[in-house]
């Protein structure tokens, strides 16, 4: 049973990591645009989302 759980976690990780990296790249581009426009609200939102994505990435890499 443990082996089945590990296999599931591994396949979930392999599917989520590329998507997560794309999401991070998109948020970084959005943050860049917000910085150029000096949009403080959007900058704050992007930073918060990037923090959530960073935490998820750390968790997935630990699996």
* Domain map (residue ranges) of the chain: 14-61
Which pLDDT score is estimated for 1? 73
Q: What is the mean pLDDT of the chain?
A: 90
Using 50, 70 and 90 to split pLDDT, how confident is the model at 8? low
Q: Which segment of 10-14, 51-55, 57-61 scores lowest on mean pLDDT? A: 10-14
Neighbours of 63 (CB within 10 A): 11
User: SS3 of 19, please?
Assistant: helix
Pseudo-torsion of CA 43, 49, 55, 60, nearest 10°? -130
Assign 9 a pLDDT band (cuts: 50, 70, 90): low
Range 22-31 burial, b when 16+ CB lie within 10 A, else e: ebbeebeebb
When pLDDT is averaged across residues 18-34 and rounded to a whole number, the result is 97
pTM to 2 decimal places: 0.78
Region 30-56: mean pLDDT is 98
């Amino acid at each position: 049973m443990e082996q089945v759980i590990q296999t599931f976690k591994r396949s979930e990780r392999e599917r989520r990591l590329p998507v997560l990296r794309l999401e991070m790249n998109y948020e970084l581009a959005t943050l860049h645009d917000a910085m150029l426009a000096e949009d403080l609200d959007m900058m704050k939102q992007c930073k918060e989302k990037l923090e959530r994505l960073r935490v998820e990435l750390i968790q997935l890499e630990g699996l």
